[in-house]
Structure formats: structure tokens, C-alpha cells
A = this chain, B = another copy of it.
Amino acid sequence: MSSDAWTLPTAQIAIEAAAILAFAVSGLIEAARKKLDPVGVCIVVGLSAFGGGTLRDILLDRRPFFWVEHSWWLWMLLGLSVLAMFFLQARHFAPTERAVQWPDAVGLGLFTAGGTELAMATGMPAIVAVLMGMMTAVFGGVLRDIVCNEIPYAFRDHRPYAVCSFAGGWVVIAADWLGLAGWVGLLAGATLATALRAMALVFDWRLPRWRTD
């Protein structure tokens, strides 16, 4: 950990909050696309937003959870879900399957950086910290897709997903090894992971496949 003790927690909370919002939006779009009932919308928004961070905190044995310490977030997401439902009803908004990919990519990057940094701060070895970052980033979306009865993107999509998170996590670790300020690593890692995922979507990058012959 670098010496900027007073800016790091702020940067961490900002990153976590932005990641939660991005995944909440991805959950909202997915729930609207599936025409879930109002309760289902709230559940999917909540699982998308808090699922990854909660799994990370259980594995790290870290309490309180974000949504316990900042419980007004629960009210906020509840309000957001209700407002969004009225708005979507009124506007005949029909989100496409691809619409969910962009907030998902942003959340992927932010949770990767935040999760890796947090795990590193509790003294985890580098490979474990990167893995924790990946799990934080991937698990919220996996829960969202399972509840919506989809095979999770993270497993289905042949374009790089977890790999982008893996790369972003190592940037956070490298920034720490180089002695850079914590927020620099957070920003660089989040940006790289999101940018890689966005490029994978735009340029249709593919992972190598098994030869079928």
C-alpha cells in the first residue's frame, strides 16, 4: 500500500459506488428486457449491484458489507427501480440485448480495480488479489443472468470477459509494486479492463477455440 492513506479510502468508495451504479443499470435493462414483475426488477437490480462485492467480502471475511454500512443505498436502488419502471412503461422503451453490454463493461472494470485493491490491502498474495477482483467483477453479472434465466455472459460469450478483468487486476498490482499512489492503480486498472472489454465488443475479438475436425 502506498502512503496516500487519506485519499485511498475516498477513491475506493467512489470506485465501488460507481461500479454498483453501473451494474444496477445493467440489471435494470436486463430486467426490463425480460419484463419481470416489479419485485423481480428490484431483486435483479439488487443482486447485480451488490452480488459481486458481497461474495468478495464473504471470502475475505470482511464486515460490514457495503449495503449494511451504507444502507441508504438500498432505499436509493429501490427508488431507482420504481422510477425506472414508471418511466419505461410510459416511453415504450425496448432495450436490445446489446444495451446491457456497455454498463456491464464499465462495472467490470470498476469492480476489478476495487476488488483487487481491497484484497491486496488485507494482505492477500498477488494472484489471490487478482482473483478476488475478478470474482467481484464477474459474480454480480452471473447472478443477474441466472435469475433472468440466461446462461451467464461470462461463460457464454466467446469474446474475452474474465480475461479483461484479469489484465486489469494485474495493472492494480503492478502500480502498487511500482510505488504509485493507490488511486492511480485503481484508475489505470479500471480503465484498462473496461477498455479491453469494450474493444472486444467493438472489434469482435474471439478467444481461441478447440479445433473441430
Q: Which residues of B contact A63 (CB under 8 A)?
A: 61
A207 near B71: Cβ-Cβ < 8 Å: no
Q: Which residues of B contact A147 (CB under 8 A)?
A: 155
Query: In whole Å, how far is A193's beta carbon from the nearest beta carbon of chain B?
Result: 14
A38 to B68 CA separation, bound complex (whole angstroms): 37
Q: Which residues of B contact A40 (CB under 8 A)?
A: 155
* Partner of A124 from B32, B68, B211 at Cβ < 8 Å: B68
Question: Mask for A200-211, Cβ within 8 A of B = 1, else 0?
Answer: 000000011111
A17 to B127 CA separation, bound complex (whole angstroms): 19
Q: Which one of A35, A39, A92 has the highest number of Cβ atoms from chain B below 10 Å of its Cβ?
A: A39
Query: In whole Å, how far is A75's beta carbon from the nearest beta carbon of chain B?
Result: 6
Q: Which residues of B contact A149 (CB under 8 A)?
A: 151
A59 interfacial by beta-carbon distance below 8 Å: yes
Q: Which residues of B contact A37 (CB under 8 A)?
A: 158, 207-209
A28 interfacial by beta-carbon distance below 8 Å: no
A71, closest chain B residue (CB): B125
A38 near B208: Cβ-Cβ < 8 Å: yes
Query: In whole Å, how far is A49's beta carbon from the nearest beta carbon of chain B?
Result: 13
Q: A68-B124, A68-B128, A71-B128 are in contact. Are A89 and B160 (CB under 8 A)?
A: no
A87 interfacial by beta-carbon distance below 8 Å: no
Q: Which residues of B contact A210 (CB under 8 A)?
A: 32, 35, 88-89
A residues sitting closer than 8 Å to B (CB atoms) are: 32, 35, 37-40, 43, 54, 58-59, 61, 63, 65, 67-68, 71, 74-75, 88-89, 92, 124-125, 127-128, 131, 147, 149, 151, 155, 158, 160-163, 207-213
- 17 A-B residue pairs with Cβ-Cβ distance under 8 Å, sorted by A, are A35-B209, A35-B210, A37-B158, A37-B209, A38-B207, A38-B208, A39-B207, A43-B155, A43-B162, A54-B59, A58-B59, A61-B61, A71-B125, A71-B127, A74-B127, A74-B131, A89-B210
